Structure 1
Amino acid sequence: MTALLNYIYSSFKRDKNKNVFISDPPGPAILLWTNNQTHPNLTGISVVKELNLDYQNQNQHISHNLITTIANEIKTNTSIPFLEIEYDFLNDILIINGTRYNVSNGGNIIANTFNLTISNTPTKAVNNSQSVTDMFHIWSRSFFSGTAVRKIDTDLVVVDIIDNTLSSFVEIKRSDRVNFNSWQPFSNDLSNYEMMFALSDALNIPFYTIHHNDVNNKIIDANKLVNVFTYDPNSPVNWGTFRSLQNRQQLTAQDIVNSL
């Protein structure tokens, strides 16, 4: 995880009211799906994780425990199809909403549920490798059409653990290549942001892009400034307004934790 994600995780770990789901393959990760015809609206949302994963860090364990809340909120408050997916490519297994399939059949279930196009030469499985942390991403890029299917992950979802609701979700951008005070969401990421806006609208929760330039430390300093760009659900904010510097706040890492 990045320095800011580590800081947010460690801060919420002590919070009695809220917790955070952080996508961390091969542990649980939230994926948003759509196709070219439906974009920017979403055709599916999934939580994906490796089957029988021995969680190596507490973040993955915490995120696993929040899956039920996230799934219930999506199913209750949106009409977007939802799948919980577990994979074991070495043994040709996909488990989807508790039902076991081989990888090819499971891929067809995902395609049919989310209205996705399968590649002309789909890959049945990928080999497990300690050097690959996100085997589902590698498999899905080959199994589904690279030109007709769009898939992105969400970095972080804030969960209110008192009333079991979702408070907000966040994309983290780490870069020191652009002057900190001049950084803006990149124009060529418009398609991904539109999918994020669609999720914000569907769940009626705010979406934040948070940029920081700490690329060297394991955890960011609480007083270090970060750039925050906010999208409020079902607002008239367009892409140009969202990424403008007028929509940017510069807050300390601690301030952003307090505001999520």
Structure 2
Amino acid sequence: MSYYKSNALYDYLKENQYTQYKFTSGDLWQLIYGDNNCDPKLLVLASGVDHKQYLNNLSQNEKEGLQLLKKVSEITQIPLRFVRFIIDSEEVDEVITFRNDEKPIKVKMNQLKDLFHQEGLPVSDSATDKYLNDASSSAYHNWQRNSLGRDIKVSDFDLWKVDHNGKPIELYELKRSYYALDRWKPFSDDYSNFRLIHKVVAPVGIHFKIVYNVRTKNPWNDNISKLKIFEVDFDQEPPINQLGIIELSDFLS
């Protein structure tokens, strides 16, 4: 099964050891769930593993992903839950999960939905308890989309910048498309996700920006030499403002 794995910016940061930037990639996602008012309710580290790793202790990548979200949880007082599911199975009917630092437990998918509901999320009444993998998504993401309902808002955290103590100071939403840099702007359909993220980071002084680069598929070129930067602040009007087009080196300076 092949899902979205990485991008050129992640690869560059990793290869050049820019340790002040933190991210998850592959089958690991840092997520924020909110209600229909985009009020954040629950942080989740979702981890897809093969069946041989399902009962193992936390991997190093999982530990690092959790460590960052724990800092966010401590700062924002938003609860944190870990969810591990088997990604190489055709269908998923259970996960391993724990809240904050509690003991891991196995739960069925409807039980997981109940746990989400207990955090104040307005989940749907659908009763499906098994979720299939498909060509474009994992079973967990299918469960998320089909079971939680339309009143749930969910977004992922793409890229963090941290200070020397590991405290998050900036968050970047990464966007890529074939549009030229001077033509692209954030789509209005994404504004609810942006608002949700803003409500997580703004009250605790973490700056939120959108970073766009051009990516073409034929021929393939994920071009990060120049980046278009936007500042996001829903306490102002307009909530998203273009800061300019800059060199990668200027972004990382």
Shorter-chain TM-score above 0.5: yes
**Counterparts of 2:106 and 2:188, CA distance in 1:** 41
How far does the alpha carbon of each residue in 1:179-204 deviate from its partner, in whole angstroms, 9 at most, with x for none?
A: 43132212232211111211221442
Partner secondary structure for residue 68 of structure 2: helix
Q: How far does residue 91 in structure 1 lie from its aligned partner after superposition?
A: 5.6
**Counterparts of 2:43 and 2:161, CA distance in 1:** 17
Q: Name the aligned partner's letter for residue 212 of structure 1.
A: N
CA RMSD of aligned residues (A): 2.9
Q: Normalising to structure 1: TM-score of the pair?
A: 0.77
Equivalent residue pairs, number: 235
How far does the alpha carbon of each residue in 1:42-75 deviate from its partner, in whole angstroms, 9 at most, with x for none?
A: 11111111245789xxxxx774342232132123
1:112 to 118, 125, 132: 118
**Counterparts of 2:190 and 2:18, CA distance in 1:** 35
Q: Verify the 8 A CA contact 2:76 2:200 in the aligned structure 1.
A: no
More displaced 10-residue stretch of structure 1: 62-71 or 73-82:
62-71
Q: How does 1:1-260 map to 2 (within 5 A)?
A: 5-15=7-17, 17-24=19-26, 27-36=27-36, 39-51=37-49, 63-88=61-86, 90=91, 92-97=93-98, 98-113=104-119, 115-128=120-133, 131-146=135-150, 148-160=151-163, 162-177=164-179, 179-216=180-217, 217=220, 219-220=222-223, 224-231=225-232, 236-238=235-237, 240-243=238-241, 247-256=242-251, 258-259=252-253
Partner secondary structure for residue 213 of structure 1: strand
More displaced 10-residue stretch of structure 1: 88-97 or 149-158:
88-97
Greater fraction of residues in strand: 2
Q: Verify the 8 A CA contact 1:214 1:220 in the aligned structure 2.
A: yes
Greater fraction of residues in helix: 1
Q: Name the aligned partner's letter for residue 103 of structure 1.
A: M
**Counterparts of 2:204 and 2:25, CA distance in 1:** 18
Gaps of 5+ in 2: 54-58, 99-103
Q: Name the aligned partner's letter for residue 84 of structure 2.
A: E
**Counterparts of 1:218 and 1:53, CA distance in 2:** 34
Judging changes above 3 Å, is the alpha-carbon distance between structure 1 residues 241 and 139 closer, same or farther for their aligned structure 2 residues?
Answer: closer
**Counterparts of 1:151 and 1:241, CA distance in 2:** 19
Q: How far does residue 134 in structure 1 lie from its aligned partner after superposition?
A: 2.6
Q: How far does residue 254 in structure 1 lie from its aligned partner after superposition?
A: 2.9
Q: Verify the 8 A CA contact 1:29 1:47 in the aligned structure 2.
A: yes
Partner secondary structure for residue 182 of structure 1: coil
